[in-house]
Amino acid sequence: MLKIGVLALQGDFREHREAMERLQVSTSEVRLPPDLGGLDGLIIPGGESTTIVRLLRSSGLLEPLRTLAREGFPMWGTCAGMILLAKRLDETGIPALEAMDISVRRNAFGRQVDSFEADLSIPALGDVPFHAVFIRAPVIEDIGPAVDVLARLPDGTPVAAREGRLLATAFHPELSDDSRVQRYFLEEVLGWR
Ligand code: GLN
By C-alpha distance, which of 66, 43, 41, 68 is closest to 56? 66
Q: How far apart are CA 45 and CA 108, in angstroms?
A: 18
Confidence of residue 1 (pLDDT cuts 50, 70, 90): confident
Please write the tens of the pLDDT for every residue from 116-145.
999 999 999 999 999 999 999 999 999 999
Question: What number does the ligand 1 atom closest to the CA of 107 have?
Answer: 1
**Which residue type is seen at 37?**
G
Of all protein residues, the one whose alpha carbon is nearest to atom 1 of ligand 1 is 136
The number of angstroms, rounded, from the C-alpha of 131 to the middle of its chain's C-alpha atoms is 17
Backbone phi, psi, residue 3, to 5°: -135, 125
Cα 7 to ligand 1 centre (Å): 15
Of all protein residues, the one whose alpha carbon is nearest to atom 8 of ligand 1 is 46
pLDDT at site 173? 98
Q: Does the pLDDT at position 176 exceed 90?
A: yes
**Which residue type is seen at 171?**
F
Question: What number does the ligand 1 atom closest to the CA of 80 have?
Answer: 8
Q: How far apart are CA 56 and CA 64, in angstroms?
A: 10
CA distances from 31 to 24, 34, 66, 87, 189 (A): 22, 8, 15, 23, 23
CA distances from 38 to 22, 26, 73 (A): 21, 12, 12
pLDDT at site 114? 86
Any idea which residues carry the catalytic annotation? Answer: 79, 172, 174
Cα 193 to ligand 1 centre (Å): 32
pTM of the model: 0.97
On whether the CB atoms of residues 161 and 102 are closer than 8 A, the answer is yes
DSSP 79: T
Question: What number does the ligand 1 atom closest to the CA of 78 have?
Answer: 8
Q: 151 pairs with which residues across the strands?
A: 160
CA distances from 189 to 6, 66, 98 (A): 16, 18, 19
Please write the tens of the pLDDT for every residue from 15-56.
999 999 999 999 999 999 999 999 999 999 999 999 999 999
Give the pocket of ligand 1 (CB within 6 Å): 46-49, 79-80, 83, 106-107, 135-136
Cα 58 to ligand 1 centre (Å): 20
Backbone phi, psi, residue 50, to 5°: -65, -35
**Percent above pLDDT 70 for the chain:** 99
DSSP 136: S
Cα 79 to ligand 1 centre (Å): 6
